[in-house]
Amino acid sequence: MDLRAQFEALKATLARYDYRYYVLDDPEVPDATYDRLMGELRALETAHPHCITPDSPTQRVSGTPLKHFDAVSHRVPMLSLENAFLDADVEAFDRRVRERLETEELIDYHCEPKLDGLAISLTYVEGHLVVGATRGDGVTGEDVTSNLRTMKSVPLRLQGTVPALVEVRGEVFMSDAGFARMNREALAKGEKIFVNPRNAAAGSLRQLDPSITATRPLDAFFYGVGAVEGGTLPATHGEFVALLRAWGLRTCPETRVARGAAGLLAYYRDIGARRATLGYQIDGVVYKVDAFQSQRELGFVARAPRWAIAHKFPAEEEITQVRAIEWQVGRTGALTPVARLEPVFVGGVTVSNATLHNIDELTRKDVRVGDTVVIRRAGDVIPEVVRVIPERRPVGAVEAALPLACPVCGSAIQRVHGESVARCTGGYVCLAQRKEAIKHFAARRAMDVEGLGDKVVDQLVEAGLVESPADLYRLTVEQLAGLARMGEKSATKIAAALEKSRRTTLPRFLFALGIPNVGEATALALAEHFGDLSPLRMATLEQIQAVPDVGPVVAASIRGFLDDSRQASVVDQLIALGLVWEVQTVSRSDDLPFAGKTFVCTGTLPTLGRADAEALIRKFGGKVTGSVSKKTDYILAGADAGSKLAKAVELGVAVIGEDQLKAMVSAS
C-alpha cells in the first residue's frame, strides 16, 4: 500500500469508528484500539507533514487563538419559529396549514424536541466541512469553524453520496451529565461554574481559543437544511433526517412523524412526560409539515415559516423579587432557609416560596432580602433560587444569617463542624419537629394511617392532643371528631385506620420512627439482618455497621437514636400500646432474575407506584438503594427523574423504564 493510500485508509477507519461511537452510540472497537490507530496516524503525519489534510481527525484541535470571530452570511436565512403555548394554538396552526393547502385531509408533520442550545449551520463542499457558523441574527452569524471542528459529533467529511454543496442546520448543546461533570471539575479547581447547560454550551462554542472548546463536553443534533447545490433532496423532511444520519450526522432519536393536530398534541405530551429522562435540556417541541412540496407552497411570513411552529413547555425559570428569608424547621430539626417571593408563574404554577437548601448555599449564592433572583421549577421539583441578578440589587439589601435559637421553639441551634446543615436541638419539644415527625410516622409508606393528613396532624399537635407518635394510639373518636371540619364519620375512619396500623412490618416500623439517615432501603436491611427490634436495640455500633450498606455515619445515627431516652420511651410506649410486626423475609435464591443486582428508582412511573416497583424488584431478588454509585446495576427512571438519572448516565449505569422492568420479570 502506497503512502497516500495508507493515510486514506487510516482516516476512513477512524471516521467510521467516530461515526459508530458519537452518532450511533454503538462503539465498534474498544478505546484502546481507537487510540492505537490514532497514534499510528499521528506518527505518519509527523514523518510526512505534507500528507496532512484538513479532514484528518488529528486536526480537530489546531491553530492559534482568534482575536475575534469573522462574520458569515447564511446562503439561506436561518429563520425563527412562531410559538404555541396552548392546545388551541396548535389546533389553529394545523387549521391554517390545511386551509392554505386547500385540503381537508389530515396533514403529516415531522416532530422533534426543541433543544435548549445554540443553533448552528455547517457548510460542506464536496463532502468536506468548510464553514461552521452560529445563527446570529438569522442572516449573518459568527464563523466558529475552528471550534466546531473540535467536536467529535461534527464530521469533518460526510459519508456516501453528497451534493456538491450542502448547508445543514442543527443545535449544539451540553448533556445534563456532561454539564454536571464540568461544573464539578470547575469547583474542584476553584473556577467559576456555569448557571445552566445552555449558557455552558454557548460559552464553550464561542471561545476564541479552540483548545478550550475541545475540553468542553459539547454535543450536537442535526435536523434541517439550508442551501443545496449539485444535488436533490428527498420528498419529505423525515426522509431528509434519515439522509442526515446516512451522511454521518447525529440526529435526535426522539423524532417521529405525527398525523393531524391530535397526533401533534399526543407527541407533545409524550415528550413532556419523558422530558427529565432525555439527558439533555429541551424547552418544547417543534412541528414541521413533513412534505417539502407543501412547505414550499406554504412559504413564509416575515421571519418565520408558515409550515413550522414551536410548541413551548411552561417556563421553568422566571425572574422575581425576594420579599423575605425565613427559616423552616424539618422533622430532624434541620433548618432550611426559604425565600418568600413576589408571586410569579413558572413551571405551570404560581410560585411564592423557593428553597435555599442550607446556610452554605445561602452564603454561596449571596441571596439577600430585596434581591431580584432567577427561580427554577421543573416538573414537581420544589422551586429553588438559581442565582441573584446583582445589577438589580437595591441599596441596603439585607443579608440573612443563621439564627442563634430555633425560630419555632427557641431551643439552641447546633451545627456540627464540617456539615452544611444546622439543627434545632429541641426534639419533640419543638412544635415544628413534632408535627413533621407525626406526619412522617403516619405516611403511606410508613405506618400508612389513611386520613391522617397534614392539616389533621397540625390540629392535633396544636391542640396538645399528640406530643409523640405513641399519643396517636390514645386518641378517641370523640377527640378526633372535635377537630375543625372533622365529622364523626371521618373521625371513625381515622380511628379504624390507626387500629389497623397496629399490625405492621418491622421495616415499615423502623422507617416510621424517623431515625436520621434511615430510609426504606436501610430499614429493610436492618430488619433482615437483625430479625427483630430487640437485637437491634442491643446491638453495638460495630454490629450495626456490619449491616450491608450501613456505613459509620448511618450506624452512628441509628445508635444515637436508640440511645436517646426520649426516643426509647416513645418506642416502649408504642410496643405497650399493642404495635406488633412481622419480619418480611426476602428470598436470596440465585435463581431469581434480579439476584445480586442493585437498583435505584427515580421519577414517576406510568402505572407502578414507587413502593410497588421496589417491592417487585425485591420480590425477584433485587436490592433497592437510594443513591446512584458505580455499584448500581440499573436505574429505573420515570417522568421528572432528576439528578439521580444524570449521575447514572454519567457513570454508565443501565437506564430502564417500567416496561423493561416488567419484561425482565416476565422473561424469568
Q: Identify the band that residue 529 occupies on the pLDDT scale cut at 50, 70 and 90.
A: confident
**Cα 140 to the chain's mean position, in Å?**
34
Residue 7 region, left (φ>0) first, then alpha (ψ -120 to 50), else beta?
alpha
In whole angstroms, what is the distance from residue 571 CA to residue 561 CA? Answer: 11
The alpha helices in 341-471, defined as continuous H runs, are 359-365, 431-442, 454-462
Q: What is the pLDDT of residue 622?
A: 84
Q: Which of 21-25, 106-110, 148-152, 188-192 has the highest mean pLDDT?
A: 106-110
Lowest pLDDT segment from 7-11, 135-139, 229-233, 614-618:
7-11
Average pLDDT for 111-124: 92
- The gap from C-alpha 552 to its chain's centroid, in whole angstroms, comes to 30
The pLDDT value recorded for residue 250 is 92
pLDDT of residue 586: 46
597 is catalytic: no
User: Please, how many CA atoms are within 13 Å of residue 277, restricted to the half-sphere of its CB?
Assistant: 22
What is the structure's pLDDT at 32?
Answer: 59
Asked whether 503 and 494 are in contact (CB, 8 A), the reply is no
Q: What is the pLDDT of residue 235?
A: 94
CA-CA distance, 646 to 600, in Å (whole number)?
A: 13
Confidence check: pLDDT of 123 > 50:
yes
**What string of DSSP letters covers 80-116?**
---EE-SHHHHHHHHHHHHHHTT--SPPEEEEEEEES
Which range, of 10-24, 49-63, 241-255, 647-661, averages the lowest pLDDT? 49-63
Q: Report pLDDT for 384.
A: 87
Q: Long-range contacts of range 209-214, CB-CB < 8 Å, 24 or more positions apart? A: 209/65, 209/66, 210/61, 210/62, 210/63, 210/65, 210/146, 210/147, 210/149, 210/150, 211/61, 211/65, 211/150, 213/147, 213/150, 213/151, 214/60, 214/61, 214/150
What pLDDT, in 10s, does the model give residues 295-310? 999 988 767 789 999 9
- What domains sit in the chain, N to C, each tagged with a CATH number? 3-59 (1.10.287.610), 83-312 (3.30.470.30), 317-405 (2.40.50.140), 427-501 (1.10.150.20), 506-582 (1.10.150.20), 598-666 (3.40.50.10190)
> Cα–Cα distance between 532 and 523 in angstroms, integer?
12
CB 207 within 8 A of CB 67: no
Predicted confidence band of residue 62 (pLDDT cuts 50, 70, 90): very low
Which range among 57-71, 78-92, 289-303 shows the weakest confidence by mean pLDDT? 57-71
38 or 375, higher pLDDT: 375
Distance from C-alpha of 65 to C-alpha of 68, rounded to nearest angstrom? 9
**Ranges 24-28, 121-125, 362-366: which has the least confidence:** 24-28
Angle between helices 610-619 and 658-666 (to 10 degrees): 30
Mean pLDDT score, 101-111? 95
Q: Give the mean model confidence (pLDDT) for residues 395-405.
A: 91
In angstroms, the CA 114 to CA 280 distance is 11
For 524, the enclosing helix (H) or strand (E) is: helix 520-530
Q: Looking at residue 584, what is its pLDDT?
A: 52
400: Cβ–Cβ under 8 A, 6 or more apart, which residues? 325, 337, 362, 367, 368, 369
**Set of cell numbers at residue 143:** 464563523
| Whole-number Cα distances in Å, 647 to 217, 630, 643 | 15, 10, 6
Question: Which span out of 9-18, 102-111, 423-432, 544-553 was modeled with the highest average pLDDT?
Answer: 102-111
Distance CA 148, CA 179 (A): 18
- Judged against a pLDDT cut of 90, whether residue 27 lies above it is answered with no
- Provide the percentage of residues in the chain whose pLDDT is more than 90: 46
DSSP secondary structure letters along 556-611? HHHHHHHH-HHHHHHHHHHHHTT-EEEPPPPP--TTSTTTT-EEEEESB-SS--HH
CB-based contact 512:482 (threshold 8 Å): no
Class of residue 668 by CB neighbours under 10 A (exposed 0-12, middle 13-18, buried 19+): exposed
In three-state secondary structure terms, 10 is: helix
Strand 118-125, strand 503-505: pairing: unpaired
Write the pLDDT tens digit of every residue in 620-631. Answer: 888 888 788 888
At residue 587 the predicted structure's pLDDT band, cuts being 50, 70 and 90, is very low
320 strand-pairing partners: 373
**What DSSP letter does each residue of 135-148 carry, written as one string?**
-TTSSEEEB-HHHH
CA 574 – CA 437 distance, rounded (Å): 14
pLDDT of residue 67: 60
CB–CB of 428/464 below 8 Å?
no
Alpha-carbon gap, residue 493 to 76, rounded angstroms: 70
Average pLDDT, the chain: 86
**What is the number of other CB atoms lying within 10 angstroms of the CB of residue 99?**
10
The three cell numbers locating residue 541 = 455500633
User: How high is the pLDDT of residue 538?
Assistant: 93
Running DSSP on this structure, what letter comes out for residue 63?
S
243 Cβ contact list (under 8 Å, min separation 6)? 233, 234
Does the structure show a pLDDT above 70 at 545? yes
| pLDDT tops 70 at residue 390 | yes
The answer, yes or no, to whether residue 187 has pLDDT greater than 60, is: yes
User: What is the pLDDT confidence band of residue 314, given thresholds at 50, 70 and 90?
Assistant: confident
Q: What's the mean pLDDT in 585-602?
A: 73
Question: Of the listed 114, 435, 439, 647, which one is catalytic?
Answer: 114
Mean pLDDT of 113-133: 91
Strand partners, 353: 340
Query: Of 511, 521, 499, which is closest to residue 580 (Cα–Cα)?
Result: 499
Distance CA 302, CA 107 (A): 23
Q: Name residue, grid cell 460495630.
A: 542
pLDDT in tens, 562-582: 999 989 999 999 999 999 997
